[in-house]
Amino acid sequence: MYTIKGEFYFPDISMANADGLLAIGGDLEPERLKLAYSRGIFPWFEDDKVIMWWSPDPRMVLFPEEIKISKSMQKVLKSAQFRVTENVAFEQVVSFCASVNRPKQEGTWITEGMKTAYSSLHYQGLAKSFEVWRENELVGGLYGVQTGKVFSGESMFSLESNASKVALIALTQSAAAHGIALIDCQLYTTHLQSMGAREISRAEFISFL
């Protein structure tokens, strides 16, 4: 990872290895993060490791109009048991994403440095959150970074069944109003696939940036 003559630099994404790893090192300065997202690159690493930058091929994405809402989820939405807000508890959402227990995952990749970095992007209007509440209690949500018409989803959490799904559905339903044409899910999961996400080539993904 380099900084050349005061400017941040990344290798060409074609140099990423088969797993999508492109570069190692650098820092989480807001300007470096903005450059990374504009090139289809994102950081992902463990707390005690050096920063690692990724650009996988293929890329898991969700086109908002392709969201799949099951009959059971339609009932949840109609029940109005949850209330959804935008950008009113960004730092709380990030903290919950970092602390919630996840099956088959040890620890968290959302480090203290990550929290600080994304908070900086939030104050610049680039990092955004969707919060899901039951009455006055935060029970789910997601956060990510918007670059043009691409929203890069970073993480989500759920303290109650279906709460994170409600957040994702809210994101897709407000996508047009925010000028979002594509939600970047980064890596494949069966959960995301079940909600309509699919893999596209890195070249096609970059064309949206």
Q: What is the dihedral of CA 74, 130, 145, 174, to 10 degrees?
A: 50
Structural domain range at position 36: 2-54
Residue 98 and residue 183 in one domain:
yes
Residue 86 and residue 173 in one domain:
yes
* pLDDT value at residue 4: 44
Write down the pTM of the prediction: 0.91
Please say whether the dihedral angle defined by the alpha carbons of residues 117, 122, 125 and 128, taken in this order, is positive or negative: positive
Residue 65 and residue 48 in one domain:
no
CATH number at residue 39: 3.30.70.3550
Average confidence (pLDDT) over 104-115: 68
| Cα 127 to the center of its chain, rounded Å | 9
CATH number at residue 137: 3.40.630.70
- Cα 35 to Cα 31, 32, 88, 126, 206, distances in angstroms: 6, 5, 26, 12, 13
Residue 130 and residue 197 in one domain:
yes
The C-alpha atoms of residue 38 and residue 184 are separated, in whole angstroms, by 12
Residue 67 and residue 50 in one domain:
no
pLDDT in tens, 75-107: 999 998 999 999 999 999 999 999 886 544 444
Q: Which of 13, 28, 54 is the last residue of a domain?
A: 54
Q: Which of 38, 54, 70 is the last residue of a domain?
A: 54
Say if residues 26 and 32 touch (Cβ distance below 8 Å): yes
* pLDDT value at residue 106: 42
Residue 136 and residue 103 in one domain:
yes
Residue 121 and residue 162 in one domain:
yes
Instruction: Looking at the chain, list the stretches that DSSP marks H as alpha helix, in order from N- to C-terminal side.
Output: 30-38, 71-79, 90-99, 112-123, 163-178, 190-194, 202-208
Say if residues 27 and 157 touch (Cβ distance below 8 Å): no
Residue 86 and residue 168 in one domain:
yes
Residue 130 and residue 69 in one domain:
yes
Residue 33 and residue 124 in one domain:
no
Strands 21-24 and 52-54: antiparallel
The C-alpha atoms of residue 41 and residue 169 are separated, in whole angstroms, by 24
The two three-digit tokens of residue 92, written as one number: 């709380």
* pLDDT value at residue 108: 52
Q: Three-class SS of residue 31?
A: helix
Residue 72 and residue 140 in one domain:
yes
Number of domains composing the chain: 2
The C-alpha atoms of residue 164 and residue 166 are separated, in whole angstroms, by 5
